[in-house]
Amino acid sequence: MNHKTIKYLFLTLIFSLNLTSCQNDFITSKIILEENEEIVFYDVFQTGIDNYTIKFNYINSNDTINLFEYYLNDAVFGTGVFDVYKANDTLYVKTLYPAETLFNKTKNGLNILLINKTNFSF
């Protein structure tokens, strides 16, 4: 092999590795509330080795709105990460993983609150 061929193969390998490292691999989606034509759900994406992005979304009248995103850097991620509890007009999403409190409100007035279980109890 000549020098140009080796350089081309090396650059192709680096480029392909870079593309695969930037991908967000979809893992799962879960509906956490479905009532009064409102759906609240989250999608989980693996964004790297032991890195995850969890996107909380809201659907109302065919509009999908991103409520907030939660970033997790933990090797023990599983689908049972969240406990959900609804009280009055607030949907509490509790996790054992480190989390700052995240909050948003839907068009119909439902408050959605992501909290750490160790700092909050019902």
pLDDT digits (tens, 9 = 90+) for 34-89: 888 888 999 988 888 888 888 999 988 878 889 989 888 766 566 567 889 999 99
Please count the structural domains in the chain.
1
- For residue 7, what pLDDT band results from cuts at 50, 70 and 90? low
Query: Is residue 12 assigned to a domain?
Result: no
Query: Is residue 61 assigned to a domain?
Result: yes
Query: Which domain does 64 fall in, by range?
Result: 24-119
Taking a C-beta distance cutoff of 8 angstroms, is the pair 36, 18 a contact?
no
Query: Is residue 104 assigned to a domain?
Result: yes
Query: Is residue 76 assigned to a domain?
Result: yes
Query: Is residue 37 assigned to a domain?
Result: yes
Instruction: Give residue 76's pLDDT.
Output: 59
